[in-house]
């Protein structure tokens, strides 16, 4: 019988597979999408998650039970970095009212907490408790209201320091973030002008000296779902990077397929939308020359896919 060391596996709905099991990799491979991968999977590390999506309901804080709105009280998750677990023991004790989600992120200079709730307000007891949190929790935001801020949270992309906006997207671990960045740099090497689409805060942008485009991020503000770059916009670039949200890049892929940019590096967090966009690019004359699965979301059934298309 397998020795499951995670005390919450099967109790909370945070993980599909027990990452402490000796059979974890074999089990995780069973969820690998049917794509012609060119390389073996890159495996993430346990206990490296620098951000966690938690929840609160009627005074309980933790993670949802599987297929339920009931909460499993959690103050220490073996998949999180120690800094988050240290903060959890304080955050879990707050006088939570109503229901909502809590995004906890380890930044370079402390812990950032962002609450999203249909309740637009918080009581004086909650504010008072926030003021008593230890100083390593440097910012606490409720919807659009910053309740407490010691300093602006910061993140680092190699030698570049960026201010971290509340609720902004980050790769879940610094290790896989660096792995993906190294892969992007490797396959973009030698390109002249580069466009980084859905660039976020600039994980790939700065490392490739690219022009960044995003809905919300560190590049040119542009809703690429409603207003994708057209072939006339793209003809000035030698290579394209895309790292879209889970919805993928359907409209943008259709525009890219019309153009003869030599190389497209596509980083996807959703195999379903990736397969859809892959077909669009291939119909447009592209060939997928590289495809690598990355176990970025350790314990889950999700895979990150790094890919390269060439025409």
The pLDDT, as a whole number, for residue 143 is 96
Residue 217 has pLDDT above 70, yes or no: no
pLDDT, tens digit, for every residue of 162-206?
999 999 999 999 999 999 999 999 999 989 999 999 999 999 999
Residue 103 has pLDDT above 80, yes or no: yes
Residue 3 has pLDDT above 80, yes or no: no
Q: Which residues are catalytic?
A: 269
Contacts of residue 12, Cβ cutoff 8 Å, sequence gap at least 6: 62, 63, 64, 65, 66, 72, 74
User: Are the CB atoms for 100 and 60 separated by under 8 Å?
Assistant: no
The pLDDT, as a whole number, for residue 291 is 98
Kindly indicate the confidence band of residue 2, based on its pLDDT and cuts at 50, 70 and 90.
Answer: very low
Q: Which two tokens stand for residue 223?
A: 């809703």
The pLDDT, as a whole number, for residue 221 is 84
N-terminal to C-terminal alpha carbon distance within the chain: 50
Q: Alpha helix locations (H) across 201-294?
A: 205-208, 231-234, 250-257, 271-283
Choices 3.40.640.10, 3.30.465.10, 3.20.20.70, 2.40.50.1070: CATH for 51-155? 2.40.50.1070
**What are the boundaries of each domain within the chain?**
51-155, 172-310
Q: Which two tokens stand for residue 150?
A: 């010691």
Residue 25 has pLDDT above 80, yes or no: yes
Residue 59 has pLDDT above 50, yes or no: yes
Residue 4 has pLDDT above 70, yes or no: no
Superfamily of domain 172-310: Vaccinia Virus protein VP39 (3.40.50.150)
Contacts of residue 112, Cβ cutoff 8 Å, sequence gap at least 6: 104, 105, 138, 139, 141, 153, 164, 166
- Three-state secondary structure along 156-215? EECCEEEECCCCCCCCCCHHHHHHHHHHHHHHHCCCCCEEEECCCCCCCHHHHCCEEEEC
pTM over 0.85: yes
Residue 295 has pLDDT above 50, yes or no: yes
The pLDDT, as a whole number, for residue 216 is 64
Q: Which two tokens stand for residue 11?
A: 């109790």
User: Are the CB atoms for 52 and 77 separated by under 8 Å?
Assistant: yes
């Amino acid at each position: 019988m397998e020795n499951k060391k995670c005390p919450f596996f099967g109790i909370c709905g945070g993980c599909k597979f027990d990452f402490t099991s000796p059979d974890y990799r074999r089990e995780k491979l069973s969820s690998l999408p049917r794509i012609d991968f060119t390389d073996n999977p890159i495996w993430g590390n346990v206990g490296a998650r620098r951000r966690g999506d938690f929840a609160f309901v009627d005074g309980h804080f933790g993670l949802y039970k599987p297929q339920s709105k009931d909460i499993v009280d959690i103050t220490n998750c073996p998949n999180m970095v120690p800094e988050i677990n240290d903060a959890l023991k304080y955050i879990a004790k707050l006088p939570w009212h109503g229901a909502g989600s809590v995004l906890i992120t380890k930044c370079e200079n402390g812990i950032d907490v962002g609450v999203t709730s249909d309740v637009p307000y918080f009581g004086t007891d909650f504010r008072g408790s926030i003021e008593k949190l230890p100083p390593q929790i440097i910012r606490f935001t409720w919807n659009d209201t910053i309740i407490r801020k010691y300093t602006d949270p910061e993140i680092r992309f190699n030698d570049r320091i960026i201010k971290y906006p509340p609720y902004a997207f980050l790769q879940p671990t610094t290790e896989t973030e660096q792995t993906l960045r190294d892969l992007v740099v490797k396959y973009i090497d030698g390109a002249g002008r580069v466009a980084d689409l859905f660039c976020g805060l600039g994980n790939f942008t700065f490392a490739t000296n690219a022009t960044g485009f995003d809905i919300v991020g560190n590049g040119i503000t542009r809703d690429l779902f409603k207003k994708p770059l057209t072939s006339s916009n793209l003809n000035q670039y030698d290579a394209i990077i895309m790292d879209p949200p889970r919805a993928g890049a359907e409209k943008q892929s259709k525009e890219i397929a019309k153009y003869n940019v030599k190389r497209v590096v596509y980083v996807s967090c959703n195999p379903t939308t990736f397969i859809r966009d892959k077909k669009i690019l291939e119909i447009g004359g592209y060939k997928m020359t590289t495809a690598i699965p990355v176990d970025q979301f350790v314990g889950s059934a999700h895979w990150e896919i790094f890919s390269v298309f060439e025409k």
